[in-house]
Every structure is written in C-alpha cells, then in structure tokens.
Amino acid sequence: MVDATPHAEQGVPPAETPELELYHPKGWWTTYVFSQDAKVIAIQYSGTALAIGLVALVLSWLMRLQLGFPGTFDFITPEAYYQFMTMHGMIMVIYLLTALFLGGFGNYLIPLMVGARDMVFPYVNMLSYWIYLLAVLVLVASFFAPGGPTGAGWTLYPPQAILSGTPGGQGAGIILMLVSLILFIIGFTMGGLNYVVTVVQGRTRGMTLMRMPLTVWGIFTATVMALLAFPALFVACVMMLFDRLLGTSFFMPALVEMGQLMSYGGGSPILFQHLFWFFGHPEVYIVALPAFGIVSDLISTHARKNIFGYRMMVWAIIIIGALSFVVWAHHMYVSGMHPWFGFFFATTTLIIAIPTAIKVYNWVLTLWRGDIHLTLPMLFSLAFIVTFVNGGLTGLFLGNVVVDVPLSDTMFVVAHFHMVMGVAPVLVVFGAIYHWYPKITGRMLNEAMGQFHFWVTFVGAYAIFFPMHYVGLVGVPRRYPELGDVAFVADSVHSLNAFITIAALIVGFAQMVFLFNLVWSLRYGREAGGNPWRATSLEWQTPTTPPPHGNWGAARPIVYRWAYDYSVPGAPEDFIAQNDPGPQHRGAV
C-alpha cells in the first residue's frame, strides 16, 4: 500500500492507538532536569554532545599542530598524540554524532513530526539520557586516570589495545573506554527502542508511513540499524574487558611482549575486527542516514519544491540500511583475512554506491526549476552535497579492493572519511540547527554570524580535507605523529601539512562564533513566529512556539497529505501544511 500521491487527501484512517496519559511534571526539577519530555531530553542530549564534541575539536587542533609543525610542541609526545587521536575519533563518531542525530534530533523531531504527544516510553527515554551522560563522564574520567586515556586508536584493535606498548593499555584508560562504550550502548538501546516504537505506533491519524517526512525515515532507519549493529560492539567490548581483566583469550593469541611470553593463547585478533566493523560500517550510515533525511527536508523546504522522487528516496534509505550490513569487511582488505572475501565485499560495497547516487541525483533534481532561497539551511545543504559527493566518490577507491591496497592506512583514508562522515554530516547538523532553532527557542539565529560561520566552515573544511587526499597518495601513513625525513616524501608535503593545520585552526575558530551565536540569539535573536520558513511538516504547526508539553494542546493534528506540498499549482500559497485538509474541506474539521 504505497501512498505517496500528493493528493491522497481522502485517506484519513482512524486513530490506531489511544491517547497517551502523559506524565505531568510537578516542579522545576522534573520539568527541566529529570524531565520525561522528549523535547527537554533532546536539548539535554544535544547540549552534552556539543560539549564533549568541543573537547574532540580541541584535540583535533592539538593533533594538527603536531602534524603541521612537528617537534615544536614538546608536550605532544607520541603517547599523547595517540591518546588525542583515539579520544578525538571516538568522541566525534559516537558521543557527538550518534548522540546528536539520534538522541538530539531524534527526540526533538520524531514526536513532533509524526504528530505524537511524546515518545511512547517517556520514563525509559529519560533514563536513556542519564545513562548517556554517565557514559560521557566515564569517558572524561579516563583523561584523569593514571596513565591517561587509551591511545589504541578509535578502532581499539587488540592485542595492542590491552598491552603495555600502547598508552592506557595496562592502565585504566582502556578499561574506562570499554566501560563507557558499554554504558553508551545500554543508554542508546533505551532511547532507540523508543524512537522505533514511536514511529511505528505513535503516529497521528492520517500520518501513513509514506507520508512521513524523510527526516523521520532517516532517523528511524538509522535507529533500527543501530539496534542491530551496537550489540556486536557490545559483545566485543565485554570480551575485550575479559581479556584485559580476567585473562581470557578471546582476541589474544600466544605472543611475546617486550621479551616476555604472555599467558594468552589461541585467540583471534581478526575476530575482533569482524565484530568491530560489523558495528563500525553500519555506524557510518547511522550517522549518514539521519543526515540524508534532514538534508532532503531542508532542500525541499528552502527550494520551495517537493523532494524529487520521494518513494525512491524512502527505498534508497532502506536499501542502503540493509546493504550496509554486508559490506563491513571492506575495512579489512589488508587485515590478513582470507583474500577471497575481497571479491564479495568489493562487489557489495560498490553496489551500495548505486542507491547512494540516486539520493544525490534526487537532491540536485529537487533544485531543478525550484525557487531556491539561499538561506543558511540551504547553504549548508548545498555544502553537504559537495562534500558528501566528494567523500562518497573517494569511497569508490577504497571500496574497490585492489585500489585500496596502496591507499589503506594512509592519509587518503583519513581525508576520505572526514569528508564523508565528518564534514558532510556536521554540515547537516549546522543546517538543521539554523533550521529548527526558531522552533526550539522562538528566535532566529543571527544571520551575519551564520554567514561567517558557513563560509569559513565550508571553504575551510574543503581546504583541510581535499589536499589531504594527496598527502595519502604520496604514501604518508595515517596515525603517524611525525613522518621525519623520508625519501619518497618531498619537502613540499610538509608545507602542505602546515597549510592544512592553519586551515583547521581557522575552521575551529569559526565554530566558536557559532557557539556564541547559539547563546546570543537566545536573548537577542529576531522573533521567529511559529513557522518562519513557511514549511509543511507538522512540527511547524504547533499551537505555540516553542511547542508546549504534550506538543499539540487540546487535539492532535490530523494529516491529509505528504510533507512536500510546496508550490502546488493553484494553491493560494506556496506551501500546504500536512494538516491542511485542502480547499474543499477547509474549515470543516
């Protein structure tokens, strides 16, 4: 039953679930701190994620300073470099992007966009945040642990992760990291079940699956994937904790460390890699799919045009989600696994490029004959397409097994994944914040600061990561605190590294302007009104802005159409809200 026809106004099925009895907070603490309101939880998640993300950003400056000007900063020893690198990567991927897209945007947008009053299990939802916060605190604690945080790389490959040659390996660093990840997964599962059940069960009357905004589709599919992928990381973490603390040998073969025969034997380091990447590859899409969804809605709204090929877009999200579970070993082409796997995983990996390309085509075709308003959300969306296409295409190098052989573990890989899963999703995060901030706070973000932020971030990030591919092409390996003099690397590469570092510092500074804008506009931003972008989806149709507890006042909205009725011929305005019954019924309901 596919119902993506724009004028399926007739079909408004009866409500499937009875109204939820909401928990009504009695005091300040239960309203703002131990809140069960998804919107408050969303803000708590986002605030925490941005705060810890700031730590990861500062760590990236330190790494870049070392890479651009090796030998200048005495305190950045190789140990410290690896610790910065590990914490930077892990925080960015898990504690910032996953938490922000699912815990932040998911919590804020899902109930509002599907016309629910809240998440289906508000109490569990609250617990989800507090466990996430605990996970973050454990992570932060590792900075202060004896021996410091782990320096095993964000991939935490054993055996080195739990041995003494790696920073934090024999100290508390690796233990705290594993415990923090386990906590994160527990907390995420509580939230994730909520997002899924709310989308499946909590939609308002008339909100069929094929009328949902793509934002919801993206977050929903990503959450389902995360619920399937995180258990692999969970068991890997538990097993590694056992290896480290109880002397089991899940991942540990017989080995001699620093002249000392260890008591381990019989385990498989490659098993860990399979478990890690069975989680790790879907993780890329757990970050990407919400970004795909959100950017679709931003483009459509600000180009005043329906998203092109909505049904194809939904199917592409689902197919990408499914396929991304059978490509994980493309991270392991040179891991020593059986070489025949290369044929299979290269083929699946390149096949995934097809639905991904369809999404890109449909975004740019949405612009075609649009009415493009170059607002900040639109600018960030355009920048997202540029960086995502760039990073996605370099994925075709690394996915094509034999081409990966010279490039794997070089700076080319670092450039590739930053472009595709660092810069591109972060640009969507910014676009989304400029887009929804008015709904969350009732005020617009400052435009001038926003323009500055946009241009520096977009051009700067491209200047950081595009040339970096060529550093990798020359052959510079990743995870090297310094290269020293190597015959195959020309001196000019060192100048290029210095340039990249300077660009990184400038981009970093622009983020401070953004954070300032977030705070400044809270007080001084222009009043936004309820629907400043003249958008169709339900969150813009709330009775008050910011939306009240319970979202909808007396009655939940009824949905008559999809979320993309922009510039409908003959309509009086250039958008028709999803809960607008249409000209013939207007005023009737």
Partner 1 sequence: MAVALVLVLVVVGSILFHILSPWWWSPIASNWGYIDQTLIITFWITGAVFSAVVLFMAYCVFRFRHREGVKADYNPENKKLEWWLTAVTAVGVAAMLAPGLYVWSQFITVPDDATEVEVVGQQWQWSYRLPGQDGRLGKSDNRLVTYENPLGIDPDDPYGQDDVVIEAADLHLPIDKPVKMLLRSIDVLHDFYVPEFRAKMDMVPGTVTYFWFTPTRTGTFEVLCAELCGTGHGYMRGIVMVDTEEDYQAWLDGQTTFAQLSAPTTVGVMDADEP
Q: Which residues bind ligand HEM (CB under 6 A)?
A: 60, 63-64, 67, 85-86, 88-89, 92-93, 97, 153-155, 414, 418, 421-422, 426, 464, 478-479, 504, 507
Q: What φ, ψ does residue 256 adopt, rounded to 5°?
A: -115, 120
Give the chain's end-to-end CA distance (angstroms, integer): 26
The pair of three-digit structure tokens given for residue 453, joined into one six-digit string: 């932020």
Task: Report if residue 506 touches partner 1, rule: CB under 8 A.
Answer: no
Minimum Å distance from CB 414 to ligand HEM?
Answer: 5
Q: Which of ligand HEM, Cu ion, partner 1, none has residue 63 at its interface (CB below 5 to 8 Å by kind)?
A: ligand HEM
Of 323-342, binders to partner 1 (CB under 8 A) are: 334-336, 339-340, 342
Task: Report if residue 274 touches Cu ion, rule: CB under 5 A.
Answer: no
Of 371-390, binders to partner 1 (CB under 8 A) are: 371-374, 379, 382, 385-386, 389-390
- CA distance linking residue 94 with residue 96, whole number of Å: 6
Task: Report if residue 431 touches partner 1, rule: CB under 8 A.
Answer: no
Among the residue ranges 102-110, 204-212, 274-282, 443-451, the one whose residues contact Cu ion (CB under 5 A): 274-282
Q: Which of Cu ion, ligand HEM, partner 1, none has residue 154 at its interface (CB below 5 to 8 Å by kind)?
A: ligand HEM
Dihedral of CA atoms 343, 349, 351, 356 in degrees, nearest 10, equals -170
Binding residues with Cu ion: total (CB under 5 A): 1
29-45 burial, b for 16+ CB within 10 Å, e for fewer?
ebeeeebbbbbbbbbbb
The pair of three-digit structure tokens given for residue 13, joined into one six-digit string: 């099925």
Q: Which of ligand HEM, Cu ion, partner 1, none has residue 341 at its interface (CB below 5 to 8 Å by kind)?
A: none
Task: Report if residue 203 touches Cu ion, rule: CB under 5 A.
Answer: no
Task: Report if residue 350 touches partner 1, rule: CB under 8 A.
Answer: yes
Residue with Cβ nearer partner 1 (475 or 582): 475
Question: Do residues 184 and 135 touch, judged by C-beta distance below 8 A?
Answer: yes
Binding residues with partner 1: total (CB under 8 A): 118
> Which residues have C-beta within 8 Å of that of residue 327, sequence separation ≥ 6?
281, 345, 348, 349, 352, 399
Backbone CA torsion sign across 471, 477, 483, 487: negative
Task: Report if residue 279 touches partner 1, rule: CB under 8 A.
Answer: no
Provide the phi-psi class of 484: left if phi over 0, else alpha when psi is between -120 and 50, else beta: left
Question: Do residues 294 and 105 touch, judged by C-beta distance below 8 A?
Answer: yes
What x/- string results for residues 152 through 191 when contact with partner 1 is judged by CB under 8 A?
A: xx-x-x-xx--x-xxx-x----------------------
Among the residue ranges 31-39, 118-126, 223-231, 259-267, the one whose residues contact partner 1 (CB under 8 A): 259-267
- CA distance linking residue 576 with residue 565, whole number of Å: 5
- CA distance linking residue 483 with residue 480, whole number of Å: 6
What x/- string results for residues 548 through 567 when contact with partner 1 is judged by CB under 8 A?
A: ----------------x-xx
Residue with Cβ nearer ligand HEM (276 or 363): 276
Residue with Cβ nearer Cu ion (281 or 494): 281
Determine the Cα angle at 332 with ends 327 and 335, to 5°. Answer: 160
Helix (H, G, I), strand (E, B) or coil at 167: coil
Residue with Cβ nearer ligand HEM (239 or 464): 464
Task: Report if residue 403 touches partner 1, rule: CB under 8 A.
Answer: yes
Interface residue with Cu ion, options 211, 281, 302, 469 (CB under 5 A): 281
- CA distance linking residue 247 with residue 251, whole number of Å: 11
- CA distance linking residue 185 with residue 229, whole number of Å: 10
Q: Which of ligand HEM, Cu ion, partner 1, none has residue 422 at its interface (CB below 5 to 8 Å by kind)?
A: ligand HEM
Q: How many CA atoms lie within 13 A of 415 on its CB side?
A: 27
